[in-house]
Amino acid sequence: MPRMFVRLSMLAASALLLFAGTALANEKCATCHADIAGKHKTTLHGKAGKDCLSCHGGGDAHIANPSKSNIIRFGKGVSAKEQNAQCQSCHGKNQKLMFWDSSYHKKNDVTCVSCHTVHKNPKPYAKQPESCFQCHKDIKSQANKFSHHPIIEGKVSCSDCHNPHGSLGHGMLKAENVNQLCYKCHADKRGPYVWEHPPVEEDCTKCHGSHGTKAAKLLKEKQPQLCQSCHDWSRHPGTPYGGQAVFGGSASAGRGGLARGCTGCHGTIHGSNAPGSNGKRFIR
Ligand code: HEC
Ligand code: HEC
Ligand code: HEC
Ligand code: HEC
Ligand code: HEC
Ligand code: HEC
Ligand code: HEC
Ligand code: HEC
Ligand code: HEC
Ligand code: HEC
């Protein structure tokens, strides 16, 4: 019992010392940077006991002679390498940052703090999609198109599909390839089907955009143009259908077909398990 007590009190004492050290450093900085030091206490880093020095270095030299040149700064005018090294000294081993070195962001000198804020918010999180839209204006415009994944609505976030810190797959996707990614949320499209439509198995983005498109259902083009980019119309006209049936004996043919596009008849466009030629033609 007494030994345990001694150990415990030693632990408590060293924890106190640690706190005193942090508090002391922060107090010194607070004499001139009161507002930031005050805010720091309320942030995740502050609550985790990280003092100013752990990110900014500096210390006595800066206190004695305050200057931007004897302290580590973040933002414009400082190399990405120098800024990121500070953050990585603690976060470099995080699993989610495993592919940082090969990421497009690292390669293009994007800094951790171009997405994460440290002092502004209680949590150093990267606000999505806003932080991404600063640089990816083209994606912003896609996400605002008529048909879009509900990114702006906040139901899907960029990081549901991408790891902004890099990944093994291309496009910094959080999956081996595009289809594996889509199946995560659209499992019903995975199949396997008796009758497969080859482009579906190959790559969903042969027909769909990833962020947003002008045509309904996230399609890259309207029907019938979308279909006609691959299918040739010698036997089966892609031009508007008349009032009469265009296929010998096909009851479903007629104006309805025009109004609904190709998938008005070929309704199981992602694949079919129906027997016979209807299944093969994705009619059922
Ligand atoms: C005696 C007052 C004083 C103390 C104490 C002080 N600073 Fe400063 N600090 C300044 C001034 C003044 C500047 C602006 C210098 C300049 O513009 O070149 C500055 C600049 C900075 C900057 C750069 C700000 C920017 O615009 O990018 C950081 C970061 C910083 N201080 C952090 C600290 C930290 C951390 C401590 C505690 C170790 C600390 N300071 C202690 C006065 C002080
Ligand atoms: C986890 C890392 C980290 C810690 C800890 C930290 N800072 Fe900062 N500091 C930053 C980053 C990153 C920026 C750039 C702006 C931002 O992200 O909010 C910054 C910006 C600043 C600036 C200049 C920006 C401004 O608005 O004037 C000052 C001054 C500063 N910090 C002082 C401090 C002081 C004082 C402490 C301790 C109380 C501290 N920092 C603790 C990372 C940190
Ligand atoms: C001295 C070590 C240290 C440094 C340097 C540091 N952090 Fe942290 N960071 C922590 C700790 C401790 C936490 C609290 C949560 C945890 O344990 O991950 C944290 C939390 C975070 C989180 C939230 C993690 C979560 O799980 O939600 C982010 C994001 C983050 N830091 C980004 C940064 C950025 C960006 C920088 C550089 C400007 C930085 N950190 C510098 C230690 C550090
Ligand atoms: C392009 C924007 C972007 C950049 C650059 C970026 N991050 Fe992140 N980071 C995010 C987003 C978004 C999240 C939250 C989603 C997630 O967990 O994948 C996040 C999450 C994190 C987390 C929490 C991870 C966890 O375990 O939940 C940490 C820690 C972190 N980032 C640190 C860093 C550090 C360190 C750097 C620089 C080497 C960095 N980030 C660069 C956007 C970014
Ligand atoms: C539903 C999944 C999903 C969401 C959500 C998503 N993306 Fe993508 N993104 C993709 C796919 C799939 C690609 C194509 C990857 C490839 O084939 O290289 C892509 C490609 C990109 C590209 C490469 C350029 C291009 O146009 O092909 C960028 C940049 C990008 N996304 C940024 C973002 C940003 C920023 C957000 C959030 C505003 C976001 N993405 C949300 C799936 C998504
Ligand atoms: C400071 C600017 C900046 C910010 C902020 C930023 N990016 Fe990027 N991003 C880039 C640059 C530069 C590239 C590489 C060039 C390119 O492909 O556009 C890139 C590339 C990408 C790519 C890979 C594109 C490809 O060609 O495969 C994706 C995906 C991506 N960013 C997603 C995001 C997400 C998600 C966020 C927000 C969490 C984000 N970015 C925030 C600058 C930024
Ligand atoms: C993180 C989950 C997620 C991932 C991954 C995902 N989606 Fe979605 N998708 C959604 C949500 C949520 C909706 C909106 C559903 C709703 O509003 O009913 C949606 C809607 C759609 C729609 C219908 C749009 C409309 O206007 O009705 C299509 C098409 C689509 N996604 C294709 C894809 C493709 C292709 C991929 C792979 C590149 C993909 N999705 C990846 C979540 C996801
Ligand atoms: C050959 C073109 C094509 C390919 C490839 C394709 N789709 Fe579609 N998809 C369509 C068409 C056309 C519609 C609209 C159907 C309609 O309006 O009746 C659609 C609709 C959707 C919808 C919304 C309606 C529904 O059925 O839930 C989702 C989700 C979807 N596709 C996901 C996917 C996924 C995931 C992949 C890849 C596995 C994929 N699509 C590949 C053509 C395609
Ligand atoms: C990226 C190219 C591509 C696109 C776009 C595409 N298809 Fe296909 N489709 C194929 C291929 C390849 C086959 C396999 C049979 C073949 O070789 O003709 C096929 C097969 C079919 C079949 C079965 C044909 C048969 O002889 O059994 C139908 C029906 C069909 N597609 C309808 C459509 C419709 C409707 C659309 C538009 C919503 C569409 N396709 C878009 C490439 C495409
Ligand atoms: C009114 C219903 C209807 C509409 C609309 C329709 N199809 Fe068909 N399609 C059929 C039927 C029924 C068959 C089977 C014909 C047969 O067995 O000879 C067929 C066969 C096909 C085939 C197989 C080709 C072949 O020669 O066997 C393809 C590919 C196809 N359609 C694509 C399309 C595309 C692309 C569109 C839109 C431009 C479209 N269809 C619109 C009913 C329709």
Q: What is the pLDDT of residue 234?
A: 61
Q: What's this model's pTM, rounded to 2 decimal places?
A: 0.93
Q: What is the mean pLDDT of the chain?
A: 86
- For CA atoms 269, 270, 273, 276, give the dihedral sign: positive
The more confidently predicted of residues 245 and 261 is 261
Tell me the average pLDDT across 257-272.
82
Please report the atom of ligand 2 found closest to the CA of residue 29. 35
Structure tokens at 187: 């499992």
132, 152 Cβ separation under 8 angstroms? no
Tell me, in angstroms, the distance from the centre of ligand 2 to residue 150's CA: 34
Domain segments of the chain as ranges: 19-70, 75-174, 175-280
Peptide bond into 2 cis (omega under 30): no
Q: What is the pLDDT of residue 91?
A: 96
Structure tokens at 121: 């918010």
Model confidence band, residue 261 (pLDDT cutoffs 50, 70, 90): confident
Tell me, in angstroms, the distance from the centre of ligand 5 to residue 173's CA: 8
Please report the atom of ligand 6 found closest to the CA of residue 126. 38
Q: What is the pLDDT of residue 250?
A: 43
Q: Cα–Cα distance between 176 and 222 in angstroms, integer?
A: 29
Q: What is the pLDDT of residue 184?
A: 98
Q: Cα–Cα distance between 114 and 80 in angstroms, integer?
A: 10
Structure tokens at 31: 């004499």
Model confidence band, residue 58 (pLDDT cutoffs 50, 70, 90): confident
User: From the CB of 112, is ligand 4 less than 6 Å away?
Assistant: yes
Peptide bond into 66 cis (omega under 30): no
Please report the atom of ligand 3 found closest to the CA of residue 44. 14
Tell me, in angstroms, the distance from the centre of ligand 6 to residue 122's CA: 25
